[in-house]
Amino acid sequence: MGRKDGAFEQALKDKNIPVLTLDHKWHMLFNNADATTAILKLEDKLNALLKRQGKLNTETKEIRKLKKKLMDEIVPMVDELEQGSDPALDKKIEDHKRLISDCNDKMEQYKEELMELPAQIAEVNYDLMLATMDACYDVLNENTREIEEIGRWISDVRVELKKKIIRKQEKEQKNHELYTYMHAIFGADVINLFDMKYDPETRHPRKADKKPEEKAEKEETD
């Protein structure tokens, strides 16, 4: 038994564990965690035991009803036989007695098995609980590892982003200063030859120059 199973057993001590395969919340667990091979095998085993228990209970009720029917039928036949000998009736009574005996034997057999099943179900259910906790433990650990890894990545990106923002602002400030000095010395016509992609004064992308024909139309209008 592994370290985790030992810890889980201690945590589960004296706990009232529901039958997991009948619990909707247990099935919901595996929307977020894949069922392992061990879990699937135990689930099948537990479901088979539950199915057997249900079948025995149903058949016991049916046998009990059959026995009652046979008993109800045999009483008047015995009364009738006391009135006089009747081989056919005697055989019918013997058949009923044999069937009633078979019912008793079958119910006794089912009773013994039904007494053993709850302990078997509880044992498999307990093993399934341990396997479930083990699987969830592994998923939680893996998710935690990835969360920490992603957290470190985000932290690194934030630092790098801050550096890039500062560098961008420094470059913008430098361009603004150069633009201002050059504009003052050489004038706007010379500055326009540099084909700046954005306006250092407003620090927004520059609007594309108008086409020559548009300029001519505007001049004629003026």
pLDDT in tens, 144-202: 999 999 999 999 999 999 999 999 999 989 988 888 888 788 877 776 766 666 566 66
- Note the pTM of the prediction, 2 decimals: 0.66
How many domains in the chain? 2
Same structural domain, 155 and 169: no
User: Distance between CA 53 and CA 56 in Å, rounded?
Assistant: 5
Same structural domain, 24 and 57: yes
Q: Give Cα separations from 215 to 159, 193, 209, 212 (angstroms).
A: 48, 18, 9, 5
Same structural domain, 81 and 144: yes
Q: What is the CA radius of gyration of the chain?
A: 44
Q: Quick one: average pLDDT of 90-112? A: 92
